[in-house]
Amino acid sequence: MHQRKDNMGSSWQDHGLSAPVEAFHEAFDGLPPTHFSRAPGRVNLIGEHTDYNGLPVLPMALRQEVRILFRPREDGTVRMANRNPEFPIRSFSLSEDIPPDPAGDWGNYLKAPCQALTGLLGPLRGLDGLVTSTLPVASGLSSSSALVIAVAQALLHANETQVPTLDLAEEMARAERYTGTQGGGMDQAIALGARAGHASRVEFDPLRLYEIPVPPDWRFVVAHTLVRAEKSGWAREAYNQRNQECQEAIRRIRMALSESEVAGTEALTYPELTARFSIKNLLELGRTHLSGPLLGRFRHVVTETLRVYRSEEAMRQEDLLAFGILMDASHESLRADYEVSSPELDRLVALAREGGAAGARLTGAGFGGCVVALTDPFRLDRLMRTLEQGYYRSPRHPHRLRDVLFVAQPSGGASVEEV
Ligand code: GLA
């Protein structure tokens, strides 16, 4: 497995619009942008690798976001530049069948929403856009879905049309599979549906968001391993493999149940399974009918689902210690049963606990990217110091500390605004 530690660009923290507006002029024949579309990244607090099984997740949106300055065009062309020089300008024609760029190319995250919306709404006018981002790329904070959502909103706005939020989130979750990742629907749902100051329990099929106020004295700290988990690259295979293993695990459970003539189990889904059986019975079913990695994957998915509901309860009751214990258990399950952690993620989680966090876990797909740790305001400084001194002291790492180690602010969902 190839992992890269490298410079993720200095433009993430470029919050002001004046420099990007100038860059827009330069990229697009001196004409000014009319609007900008913004979509936040997210930190998933708990419920990892459950969404593509139709099971709930508990994320919140971040202040860090993708922004696209744009100007509608008269024709059906989309031209998109990026302030991050890692991503060269891309240009294509809108259609229901847009030929993809090579796997891993950022252009596919532009084409995915454009193809889907053209399929849904018919011929559309295109736009010129310039992307800026304050989200680290490939960090488990959903920079790719934020881009997809920002493009979708810009395109809708350029065509003076709208799609209801939850429908758009479901459409975009499907659309993103254009990039080759068999993802779930968490990232698109929270990027569009988040409310400031709140986390959301997201349920699927049909999509629903249940808002939970984040207790004012809870601090969720995000810390980056500095290892990129390229979901468009090597991590995609590992990610898709987990999805397939989950499908295989439930297929075997389904077969075993219908062979033992348990009524109505021929087409059982994960949500039906977890609703119908107690956790004790689910674990028993797993032990009896599965082994090796499939048993681990199944055990993670069913125990993680229970942890999501318990965490929601803990958050509503402002029980920080209980929430922390559930985060720790989630990480252990992702490490041992789901096998998506890495030495760097484990190291940051261990340091967070040493630093007094109530709990810590990897967030997002894993294989690199970030951890999230929970603490209260009194222990925050100690936690930040322990992480900083234990992980980011190396003079070799080229990042500004506040880009890779920060307190997450529960933020609102995507929007389009005038420049
Ligand atoms: C990625 C995907 C999400 C989800 C997480 C793991 O972020 O985009 O849909 O599956 O991994 O929980």
Please spell the DSSP secondary structure of 254-270, one letter per residue.
HHHHHHTT-TT-TT--H
Point out the least confidently predicted range of 106-115, 218-227, 398-407: 398-407
Residue 405: inside a domain, yes or no?
no
At 77, which CATH number? 3.30.230.10
Residue located nearest, by CA, to atom 2 of ligand 1 = 183
**Per-residue pLDDT for 136 more than 90?**
no
**Per-residue pLDDT for 381 more than 80?**
yes
The CA 183 to ligand 1 mean position distance, Å, reads: 6
Res 13: pLDDT: 37
187 is catalytic: yes
Mutation to probe ligand 1, out of 55, 60, 186, 236 (largest number of atoms < 8 A from CB): 186
b vs e for 363-388, b when ≥16 Cβ sit within 10 Å of the residue's Cβ?
A: bbbbbbbbbbbbbbeebbeebbebbb
Residue 342, both tokens: 């890495």
At 5, the pLDDT band (50, 70, 90 cuts) reads: very low
pLDDT digits (tens, 9 = 90+) for 248-306: 999 999 999 988 888 888 889 999 999 999 999 999 999 999 999 999 999 999 999 99
Please pick, among 51, 128, 187, 337, the residue that the annotation labels catalytic.
187
Residue 402: inside a domain, yes or no?
no
pLDDT digits (tens, 9 = 90+) for 76-98: 999 999 999 999 999 999 999 99
Res 10: pLDDT: 32
Say if residues 61 and 412 touch (Cβ distance below 8 Å). yes
The pLDDT of 315-327, averaged and rounded, is 98
Res 369: pLDDT: 95
Q: Distance between CA atoms of 55 and 374, rounded to whole angstroms?
A: 23
Mutation to probe ligand 1, out of 43, 46, 49, 201 (largest number of atoms < 8 A from CB): 49
Strand 208-213 to 198-203 pairing: antiparallel
CB-CB neighbours of 166 under 10 Å: 16
Residue located nearest, by CA, to atom 1 of ligand 1 = 365
**Per-residue pLDDT for 227 more than 70?**
yes
Instruction: Give the mean pLDDT of the chain.
Output: 93
Q: Distance between CA atoms of 38 and 131, rounded to whole angstroms?
A: 10
Residue 303: inside a domain, yes or no?
no
Residue 255: inside a domain, yes or no?
no
pLDDT digits (tens, 9 = 90+) for 9-57: 333 334 467 888 999 999 998 899 999 999 999 999 999 999 999 999 9
The CA 258 to ligand 1 mean position distance, Å, reads: 31
Res 155: pLDDT: 98
**Per-residue pLDDT for 412 more than 90?**
yes
Res 14: pLDDT: 43
pLDDT digits (tens, 9 = 90+) for 143-182: 999 999 999 999 999 999 999 999 999 999 999 999 999 9
Q: Distance between CA atoms of 304 and 298, rounded to whole angstroms?
A: 10
Residue 218: inside a domain, yes or no?
no
**What DSSP designation does 57 have?**
B
Residue 84, both tokens: 């991050």
Residue 394: inside a domain, yes or no?
no
State which residues form the domain around 104.
12-213+412-418
Q: Distance between CA atoms of 406 and 373, rounded to whole angstroms?
A: 11
Number of domains in the chain: 1
The residue that leads in pLDDT, 128 or 103, is 128
Residue 143: inside a domain, yes or no?
yes
Res 52: pLDDT: 98
Q: Distance between CA atoms of 359 and 62, rounded to whole angstroms?
A: 19
Residue 29: inside a domain, yes or no?
yes
The pLDDT of 110-127, averaged and rounded, is 98
Point out the least confidently predicted range of 57-61, 91-95, 136-140: 136-140
CA angle 31, 35, 41 (to 5 degrees): 125
